[in-house]
């Protein structure tokens, strides 16, 4: 009987190898040959799954986003079936910062993806769509919190969403040891405490 190949698993392994290349060596070393070597496969095998560097990068970014969403879901379990929106936002913002190995890999991958998106129309549109969807989810949380009375009704949901997402700008400061992870978390906590009425 022919051996069953887990194509999704192979793609994910390649994506993780790409993260490793970006994290260890930087975007300048992000070539299909480098990723194939990191993944322990031939260039031909990698090209069987991804026809181009852009296709490989796009999949790796989508996979990073999926993994971030799963970490957020796991982080929410301790808050039960009806978590307070402040806790949802705190977990979400914390997972978008490079505070542990998986989040660092996703963060570095995201930085590489944005740089690539500036010069590739297809990647630009995909990146813009993904970021817009993420932003909408945060704004929905803010609007619901205002509607439920957790945030004062005089707060503008668009501005508050933008301010919350601005807190993810701590990423380069953490990566370059300008701000400590705890200082970034303290700033997030202080901001959320001022935003929520309860």
Closest CA to 117 of 37, 27, 39, 31: 27
Domain of 158, CATH number, reads: 1.10.357.10
In a domain, 42, yes or no: no
C-beta of residue 98 within 8 angstroms of C-beta of residue 104: yes
* Average pLDDT taken over every residue of the chain: 90
For residue 131, count CB atoms less than 10 angstroms from its CB and return exposed for 0-12, middle for 13-18, buried for 19 or more: middle
Assess contact for 121 and 36: CB atoms under 8 A.
no
Mean pLDDT of 9-31: 88
Q: How far apart are CA 86 and CA 192, in angstroms?
A: 7
Q: Which pLDDT belongs to residue 4?
A: 62
The pLDDT of residue 186 is 97
Domain total in the chain: 1
> CB count, 10 Å around CB of 111?
17
The string of pLDDT tens digits covering residues 38-93 is: 999 999 999 999 998 888 988 988 888 888 889 999 999 989 888 999 999 999 99
In a domain, 184, yes or no: yes
Residues facing residue 151 across a β-bridge: 196
Is 47 part of a structural domain of the chain? Answer: no
Any domain includes 176: yes
**Is 92 inside a domain boundary?**
yes
196: helix, coil or strand?
A: strand
Q: 67 CB contacts (<8 Å, ≥6 apart)?
A: 102, 106
Alpha carbons 27 and 163: distance in angstroms, whole number: 29
What's this model's pTM, rounded to 2 decimal places? 0.84
Q: Which of 33-37, 80-84, 115-119 has the highest mean pLDDT?
A: 33-37
Per-residue confidence (pLDDT) for residue 89, from 0 to 100: 95
Domain membership of residue 123 (yes or no) is yes
Instruction: Give the pLDDT band of residue 102 (cuts 50, 70, 90).
Output: confident
**In a domain? residue 107:** yes
Nearest CA to 45 among 55, 54, 35? 35
**CA dist., res. 68 & res. 57, Å (int):** 16
Residue 191 lies in a domain: yes
Residues 6+ apart with CB under 8 A from 81: none
Write out the H or E segment, with its range, that includes residue 72.
helix 53-76
Query: Which range marks the domain in which residue 142 is found?
Result: 54-195
């Amino acid at each position: 009987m022919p051996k069953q190949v887990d194509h999704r698993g192979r793609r994910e392994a390649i994506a993780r190898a790409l993260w490793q290349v970006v994290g260890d060596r930087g975007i300048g070393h992000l070539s299909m040959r480098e990723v194939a070597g990191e993944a322990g496969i031939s260039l031909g095998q990698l090209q069987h799954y991804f026809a181009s560097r852009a296709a490989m990068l796009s999949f790796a970014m989508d996979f990073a986003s999926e993994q971030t969403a799963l970490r957020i879901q796991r982080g929410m379990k301790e808050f039960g079936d009806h978590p307070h929106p402040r806790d949802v936002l705190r977990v979400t913002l914390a997972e978008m910062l490079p505070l542990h190995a998986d989040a660092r890999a996703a963060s570095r991958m995201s930085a590489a993806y944005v740089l690539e998106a500036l010069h590739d129309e297809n990647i630009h549109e995909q990146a813009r769509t993904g970021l817009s969807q993420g932003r909408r989810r945060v704004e929905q949380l803010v609007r619901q919190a205002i509607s439920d009375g957790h945030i004062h009704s005089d707060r503008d949901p668009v501005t508050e969403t933008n301010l919350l997402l601005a807190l993810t700008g701590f990423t380069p400061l953490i990566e370059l040891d300008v701000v400590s992870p705890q200082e970034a978390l303290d700033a997030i906590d202080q901001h959320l405490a001022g935003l929520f009425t309860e």
